[in-house]
Each structure stands twice: as structure tokens, then as C-alpha cells.
Structure 1
Amino acid sequence: MAEPKSVTAAVLVIGDEILSGRTKDRNIGHLAERLTGIGIDLKEVRVVSDDEAAIVEAVNALRARYTYVFTTGGIGPTHDDITADSIAKAFGVAIGIDPRAKALMMERFAEADLNEARLRMARIPAGANLITNRISKAPGFWIGNVIVMAGVPSIMQAMLEEVIPKLETGLPMLSETVRADLREGDIGTELAAVAKAHPEVTIGSYPFLDELGLPNTNLVVRARDAEKLTAARAAVETMLAAVRARLGR
């Protein structure tokens, strides 16, 4: 049986407000969770300032490397919302007020209220498809493999749900968590041996303080094949039992 095709993605977060700390990003985690759930591997996240050259460079690098690039931020009505212009430059296409986008915005605004600032949100690169925005009407857009969405979390999430049915997807990643009741340093060598014996499974180690305030570890086993996941989890549990017995835990 042929191996399922790998579908990959990157997220490009655009905005000085993120880099300055004035705004705390709430989109990366949501995107990661939704994409993982439909079998798209999020491989990279970048954050860039409201700088045309930085956006163009990042977009062109990421779109050449991954199946999809999702951008958030910089498509509002103000002077520093330059994402759409930068995406157009990255693709080498013109940009202007799109009649489709303007018509959508007129569902919310009277034409007299569509001032120069608001009309900036109707400027779409040539050849792009619109992404419906059921919350505030100003659309995102999709050009090539780049999906351009708002930075406001509620609007980004609404746009993402419009996009998801149209995406190419892979097999969802399955995941199970095993509590070690040991410290990371107690199991590092043994865990590496288990991981080496199960190369098609990803095993992550995540330290935490337990309910007694003591250092503990969660081991997260991930795979797309249920049988391989079960086998790896069993190997992890066998290893943990052996280490606990050796340490008298």
C-alpha cells in the first residue's frame, strides 16, 4: 500500500504589535490544533514585522517549501496594514479594489461609509480567490498556496473554517499520553532506545510539576498508524515499569 501523501503547512504571523508584545498571539495554537486534526503537518511558524521586504521574503521562502502557507494579520484599514500589497509583490501581480470584495463589504457598510481606509480592505491581488468573512464582511484571500487571513482571532477562525473544506488533507495524527511518574533525566537513555526502535512514531517528553509539586514527565506518543501507535505505547510503558523497578519507585 502506498504511503499517504504528506501535506505540510507554515504559519506566517505579520505585525509589529506581536513582536512588541502589545498583542499576544492567539492564532498559532488554534491553527496548529485544527490543522493537525485534519492531517496537515504544521512544520514552521514565523513572525515578521509590518515590513514589505520581510513579508515578501518570508512568503516566497515558505510557499516554496510547504503545501500551504497561512498568514495572519495586516489586512485591516490602516496605513501599516500592508500584507495584501506585500503578497501581491511576492507573486508579481497587480493589486486593486476587487468588485467582489467591495460588494461583500457593502453588505455591512453603506456606500457613503466606504471611505478610503475601509476600501483598503477590498484591495485584493489579481487572480486571488476570496475567503468569506461572516463576522465583519471584509474578506481574506487565497492566491497560489498562500491563504491570507485576519489577525483578530474570532475573524481568523471564521475564515479558517471557510477554507478547511477546500484543503488537501492527509491522515490525522493519533496521539496518546503516558504519565511517567519519573523525571526526564531518569529515562532519557531508555526513551531514546524506544524511539530508535519505533522510527515511524514520534515520542515527545514534556516535564511538569505534579500535584505534589514534584518533577514529573508526560510522554506523548504520536503516529498516523493505530497499530504502530499501540506498539510504541506498549514499549514506552514496559520501559517505564523497568526504570521504576530499578529505582525502587
Structure 2
Amino acid sequence: IGAAVRALADSHDHVFTSGGIGPTHDDITADSIAAAFDVQIGLRDDARAILAAHYEKTGMTMNEARLRMARIPRGAELIDNPVSAAPGFTLRNVHVMAGVPAIFRAMLASVLPTLTGGAPLLSQTLRVMRGEGDIAANLAAVAADFPDLSIGCYPFQKDGAFGANVVVRGDDGARVGAAMTRLAKDLGA
């Protein structure tokens, strides 16, 4: 886990993990993240207080297993968990959240507004009334000439005729426009 996260963190603006921060012995994500960034991990008072308040309110006992969820790598910021209280954390550009889908979504909702960085992704779509097999060579040629862009082909059938939506994505509007102009010309659209 640690090696994969470190490699991803070094090559991406943000990395999101889901799961492995719960109360059982096999929940090793927090330890792996700490090791990946060579920082200590331990019980954090603020995380412990969040858990203690939650368990007191719900009438549950704060046991050693539940206390494991207050172990946070040094230097990390807590991620709010409005569903089950046990916090996730952000260390550098890695956002570590619960694995239960509903809890992950709630935690992600608190993280997304804080994200910055990265160029906006621009896209343009060209609707072509020809099947994928008819346009594949044109798409491959344009993709080869514009390796910095993502060119996707999404087929459809309407009224018995085959067609495709060709989508060009990238962070440079001029390049996206140039690729789209060429595709429109090459495909007669």
C-alpha cells in the first residue's frame, strides 16, 4: 500500500484511498501511509476526543479496537466523518477515508471543496453518424498527432443507424480545438 501510494502521490495532484482505517488488525492503511512518508503514527488527542464523544453519545464503550481509529500519522489533517465519527486524514496530497461506501461519500464531500491545483479539463464532443469501425483509423491518426489529449469514442444506435460521439479532452483549449477541427474535417462532420 505504502509504495503504491507514494508513487501515485509523487505523480498526481491528489490521491484518494478507501478503507483500511477501521478497528481491526487488518486495517493497515494508516500505518502504510505513515511509513510511505516516513512519519510517526500515534494516537491523536483530537481524534480520540471525537471518538470518545461519539461513543459516549451512542452509549457504546471506547475499547482498544475503537481507539485504533484515533491513530493518525504525524502532520496529517483530520477528515470529518459525519456518519460514524471515526476521522480519516489527509497527509500531503493523500486523502485517506473509510471503506464503507456511504461513509466514504460523506467524507469525500468534506474534502472536495478544499482541493486546489491542476489545470481544468476541457472537452469538446463531435457527433458522427458513422459506426466505430468506419472512423477508427481517423481517430487513431488524430490521437497519434495529439498525444497530449484524450480522444474517446462512444458508440450509439438511433433509429437503426449507427453513430458515435467522439470526445476530445485536454487542458489546452487550443489543442483540443485543433484536434476537434481536424476530426470534423476528416470525418466529414
State if a TM-score over 0.5 links the two structures. yes
CA deviation after TM superposition for structure 1 residue 178, in Å: 2.3
Q: Kindly provide the CA deviation profile for residues 203-233 of structure 1, in whole angstroms up to 9, marking residues without a partner as x.
A: 2223x35245765433111133445434433
Helix, strand or coil at the partner of 1:179: strand
Q: 1:186 aligns with which of 134, 148, 155?
A: 134
CA deviation after TM superposition for structure 1 residue 71, in Å: 1.3
Counterpart in 1 of 2:13?
67
CA 1:109–1:176: 2 relative to 1, 3 Å: same
Percent of matched pairs sharing the same residue: 51
Q: Kindly provide the CA deviation profile for residues 43-93 of structure 1, in whole angstroms up to 9, marking residues without a partner as x.
A: xxxxxxxxxxxx122123222333332211111122221111222222333
Q: Distance in 1 between matches of 2:97 and 2:187?
A: 44
Q: 1:133 aligns with which of 72, 75, 81?
A: 81
- Note if 1:219 corresponds to 2:181: no
In structure 1, list runs of 5 or more residues that go unmatched.
Answer: 1-54, 243-249
Counterpart in 1 of 2:180?
233
Q: Distance in 2 between matches of 1:85 and 1:93?
A: 10
Q: Distance in 1 between matches of 2:174 and 2:9?
A: 34
Counterpart in 2 of 1:117?
65
Q: Kindly provide the CA deviation profile for residues 156-203 of structure 1, in whole angstroms up to 9, marking residues without a partner as x.
A: 222223223333323321223323222222122323343455565432
**Paired residue total:** 187
Q: Distance in 2 between matches of 1:194 and 1:218?
A: 15
TM-score (norm 2): 0.81
Counterpart in 2 of 1:151?
99
Is contact 2:19-2:99 (8 Å) kept? Answer: yes
Q: Distance in 1 between matches of 2:49 and 2:21?
A: 17
Is contact 2:23-2:66 (8 Å) kept? Answer: yes
Q: Kindly provide the CA deviation profile for residues 113-140 of structure 1, in whole angstroms up to 9, marking residues without a partner as x.
A: 1122221211112222111112221111
In structure 2, list runs of 5 or more residues that go unmatched.
Answer: none
Matches within 5 A, 1:1-249: 55-110=1-56, 113-196=61-144, 198=146, 201-206=149-154, 208-211=155-158, 216-241=163-188
Counterpart in 2 of 1:34?
none
Q: Distance in 2 between matches of 1:226 and 1:56?
A: 36
Q: Distance in 2 between matches of 1:195 and 1:112?
A: 58
CA 1:214–1:80: 2 relative to 1, 3 Å: farther
Q: Distance in 1 between matches of 2:99 and 2:160?
A: 37
Which 4+ residue blocks in structure 1 deviate beyond 6 angstroms? none
